[in-house]
Amino acid sequence: MNPYLLPGMEKGPEVLLKLTLMVPESLWDVPTGPDRFSVREVAAHMADWEPIMRGRIEQAAANPGSVITAYDEGQMALDGKYAERNPIEQLELFRKERAITTALVKALSPTVMKNVVLHPERGEVSAEDLANFLVGHDMYHVDQVLTLI
């Protein structure tokens, strides 16, 4: 496993919270670009997405070769009313969910981390790929929040 994976996973929620608190509250509902989430929506998205990603890692560990479900993130935002959620509460939920995911990844053996599932849009991905995806996903949204600072 990449030695930076676990520290990166652990720091993602903390960094997003610190950056969100640096954004004036008056800008929390401003989209960060065309077809992009606002800071409020980013926070809700991260809280909702974490258990989904953890479930995918668990699925790879327990059922290699199975097909994971693809989601429409934009529709999830509408259905989940992301624009109405408290971003600080959502980032706290994200932090708690990420701690569970990090503990899972720590507990999986290197062999199990190589187990592969099939993503309908991306093809084969291993449990390790999915865990690494989390850090990249965090950075994507860190960059997004930074546009408002």
Quickly list DSSP for 43-72.
HHHHHHHHHHHHHHHHHHHHSTTPBPPP--
The answer to whether residue 114 is domain-embedded is yes
The answer to whether residue 140 is domain-embedded is yes
The answer to whether residue 30 is domain-embedded is no
Query: Number of folded domains in the chain?
Result: 1
Residue 54 sits in a domain of what CATH number? 1.20.120.450
Query: Quick one: pLDDT at residue 140?
Result: 96
What's the domain range around 124? 5-23+35-146
- Closest among 58, 5, 18 to 145, alpha carbons compared: 18
CA 123, 63, 129, 91 dihedral sign is: positive
The answer to whether residue 44 is domain-embedded is yes
The answer to whether residue 17 is domain-embedded is yes
Q: Are 92 and 43 in contact (CB under 8 A)?
A: no
Query: Quick one: pLDDT at residue 110?
Result: 97
Buried b (16+ CB within 10 A) or exposed e, 125-140: bbbbbbbbebbebbee
The answer to whether residue 76 is domain-embedded is yes
Question: What backbone phi and psi angles, to 5 degrees, belong to 80?
Answer: -90, 0
Give, for all 149 residues of the chain, the pLDDT tens digit.
Answer: 889 999 999 999 999 999 999 999 999 999 998 989 999 999 999 999 999 999 999 999 999 999 999 999 999 999 999 999 999 999 999 999 999 999 999 999 999 999 999 999 999 999 999 999 999 999 999 999 999 99
Q: How far apart are CA 104 and CA 1, in angstroms?
A: 14
Q: Are 144 and 40 in contact (CB under 8 A)?
A: no
Buried b (16+ CB within 10 A) or exposed e, 63-96: eeeeebeeeeeeeebeeeebeebebeebbebbbe
The answer to whether residue 29 is domain-embedded is no
Q: How far apart are CA 135 and CA 78, in angstroms?
A: 25
- Closest among 52, 73, 65 to 126, alpha carbons compared: 65
